[in-house]
Amino acid sequence: NSSDKLPCIEFERSAAICGSGETSPIFQQITYREQANIITSYLDGSQVYGSTEVDALDLRDLFSDHGLLRFDIVSSAQKPYLPFERDSAMDCRRNFSNENPIRCFLSGDFRANEQIGLTAMHTIWMREHNLIATQLLEMNSDWDGERIYQEHITYNEWLPKVLGQEGYKILIGPYNGYSSEVNPSVSNAFATAAFRFGHTLINPTLERLDKNFNSIQEGPLPLHEAFFAPERLLAEGGVDPILRGLFASPLKQPMSEQLLNRELTERLFHRAHNVSLDLAAINIQRGRDHGLPGYLEYRRFCGLTVPTNWEQLSFNIPNPEVLSRLKKLYGHPGNIDLWVGGIVEKRLPEALIGPTFSCIIGDQFKRLREGDRFWYENPGVFTPLQLSQIRKSTLASVICRNGDDIDKIQPDVFLYFGQNKLAYKQCEQLPKLNLRMWMSCCDESCSFRSTQNNGRNEEENLQRRRRRSKHLYN
């Protein structure tokens, strides 16, 4: 009923790969439009390290060459934060009314600034890298920078809760080694629809909790006030209240009348744009922009039943209110967009998604693992002793090590235990990563080969990297 509402939301199409999406009237040929993925497909920590060599050089502290990532010190009472961007195309505004800009944070993925819960996670992974790199350097003075990737957490803690334990066993299963025949690139259906299921799990507010798990003085933060708001992280308690709010709060529960909370559909990026955006509308339009087949076509692709009428579809989408709305909007089941059908589909037992999205996501993560020759379990990448340490890694331990003053947490941060304070353990009780398994030795029986190279060549490489990134330190 507001007169200032705009009839349309601006939408920019994804850039097409050169030569795709073109027609030739002479030869009567049509090439399908294909989109480029600007981040790496592998689980290689690119959100921390960047997806290109240029990004990696921007993010690394090349003047020490200790393998550290750049950071900024904001307070002596807190651990380092992500570095601030020198130049940014995004708006990180201190106050939308007078538009006093504050610099965005710099990370391996530009979306780190979209909301401060995401910013907090990017911060602890930067801290984790620098913590490990520092400890490794102390034990191996001849090393230059090394990277540790936390693939284990994704597959061991998180993915079984998305697919369900049974779904994980069927769709992912045990690791059988690297295969050069497997294509690990990201499917359009995964990136444009299936993996966006997480938008339905986002709460409209970010809880911010103190050490006793009570709200901090500033209280919970409405999501629209957390978009592009680095100053909230710096001035209102740091990363700890946000992190506690994330692991001590439940996911948004599915509601037929509100699949996505209104902060995402009516106030998205409200602080950084002249008009608010609608994430649901963007997701639907993005699928059409990329030319994704409909929901039923992906059920067929996955070997599932393909309903031909609304009555048959009710077995897959049992909520009568949702089914009625779909019928009114789409007319025929065959017209339903993939993302829409996937988020309203009946969930599998112990899973967060239904069979269609499970099929797409399971296929993607299986290919990402089997098509990655640097996968941490691939023979020769790590020794058995090193693997035993990596398998101790949990997100809880990463948060404990890299929060400013977090001392209690549940061992599995992806499980919600309500008000049961007994579920929390002291951080010191969690398994610790023993980095002595990565100590260099001087004979062939060592658990890890020394990386010492010719000193003169290393110095030349270091000077070259410094010259290429000199502008970062002006």
Q: How far apart are CA 230 and CA 320, in angstroms?
A: 42
Q: How far apart are CA 190 and CA 210, in angstroms?
A: 37
* Cβ burial, residue 255 (10 Å; 0-12/13-18/19+): exposed
Residue 350 Rama label (left phi>0; alpha psi -120 to 50; beta): left
3-state helix, strand, coil in the chain (%, to 5): 40, 5, 50
Residues in the annotated binding site for heme b:
199
* Cβ burial, residue 416 (10 Å; 0-12/13-18/19+): middle
Radius of gyration in angstroms for the set of CA atoms belonging to the chain, rounded to a whole number:
24
Q: How far apart are CA 222 and CA 238, in angstroms?
A: 17
Taking alpha carbons only, the member of 258, 138, 259, 143 closest to residue 196 is 259
- 107 in Cβ contact with 47 (< 8 Å): yes
Q: How far apart are CA 431 and CA 413, in angstroms?
A: 14
Residues in the annotated binding site:
199
